[in-house]
C-alpha cells in the first residue's frame, strides 16, 4: 500500500522552526503532524470556529472568571505572618 502523502520543503527562520517544534512537542505531536493540523484547521474554518467559541465564552463568562481569579489570588495578596520580607 502506498501513501498518498506528498513531501514538500519549506524554509523557516531558525526561531520560527524552534517555536513550531516546541509547540508540536507541547501538544504531543511530531512537527509534520503539527503543521498538517495547522493547515487543516486554517483551511476548514475549524480554527476560526474555535476562536469564535472561545471569544463567546469570554464574553458571556469573563466577569465570573475575573472574579474567581481575584478570589483565588486574594490569599496571596496579603503578606503572610512570619514570612521573610
pLDDT tens per residue, range 46-85: 778 888 899 999 999 989 988 988 888 888 777 666 655 5
- As a dihedral over the C-alpha atoms of residue 70, residue 75, residue 79, residue 85, rounded to 10 degrees, the angle is -90
Residue 56's Cα: distance from chain center in Å?
Answer: 17
Q: How far apart are the C-alpha atoms of 85 and 82, rounded to whole Å?
A: 9
* pLDDT value of position 47: 77
pLDDT tens per residue, range 29-47: 999 999 999 999 888 887 7
Q: At what angle do helices 31-44 and 14-26 cross, to 10 degrees?
A: 90
**What DSSP element (H or E) covers 69?**
helix 46-77
Amino acid at each position: 500500500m502506498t501513501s498518498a502523502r506528498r513531501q514538500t520543503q519549506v524554509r523557516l527562520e531558525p526561531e520560527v522552526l524552534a517555536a513550531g517544534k516546541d509547540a508540536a512537542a507541547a501538544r504531543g505531536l511530531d512537527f509534520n503532524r503539527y503543521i498538517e493540523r495547522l493547515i487543516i484547521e486554517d483551511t476548514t474554518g475549524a480554527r476560526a470556529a474555535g476562536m469564535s467559541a472561545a471569544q463567546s465564552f469570554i464574553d458571556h463568562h469573563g466577569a465570573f472568571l475575573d472574579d474567581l481569579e481575584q478570589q483565588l489570588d486574594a490569599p496571596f495578596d496579603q503578606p503572610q505572618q512570619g514570612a521573610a520580607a
